[in-house]
Amino acid sequence: MTEAKRQAKILLLQQNKTFADLAKDADLALATVHNVLAGHKSSKKSKRAITNALGAQIWPDVPVSERTIIFDHNVEAESPSVEMAIEFAKQFPKGSVKRTGRVVSFIKSFSVTRAEDSDKAS
């Protein structure tokens, strides 16, 4: 077993995910994920997709370049002030949150992908 596959297994266990979940998150075929992790394929694009889906660097030459943040429905965030709650609620798509006073509640699940700063990712 390669070091990359070992690290990926550990991360998947911590995230309570399977290799099939990883393949879906990386938008790759399951066989491709296994081949890349086993070292049979070395496509930089595939490695980057796997790295970003895991949210952690498992190859020294492929840093995380983006992170996906998932907001589940019924999650609430409380702000220190009503004004901050209003500004926070404006950051999300219309119809995805509701605000009551200082509390912003997510009405439906959605995800946001954020590009990592290249200085920090290197």
Q: 3-class SS at 58?
A: coil
Helix axes 44-54, 19-26, angle to 10 degrees: 110
75 with 32, same domain: the answer is: no
Nearest-angstrom CA–CA distance, 51 and 65: 8
pTM tops 0.85, yes or no: no
Q: Using the 3D structure, point to which of 20, 42, 61 is the last residue of a domain.
A: 61
The structure tokens listed for 122 are: 């290197």
Q: Is the pLDDT of residue 14 over 90?
A: yes
Q: How far apart are CA 112 and CA 6, in angstroms?
A: 28
What integer pLDDT is reported at residue 96 of this predicted model? Answer: 86
| DSSP three-state, residue 106 | strand
**Cβ atoms within 10 Å, residue 56:** 15
Q: Is the pLDDT of residue 122 over 60?
A: no
Report the CATH number at residue 19: 1.10.260.40
Q: Average of pLDDT values for 1-23?
A: 93
Give the domain extent around 42. 3-61
Tens of pLDDT, residue by residue over 65-120, are 887 777 788 889 999 999 999 999 998 888 889 999 999 999 988 777 777 665 44
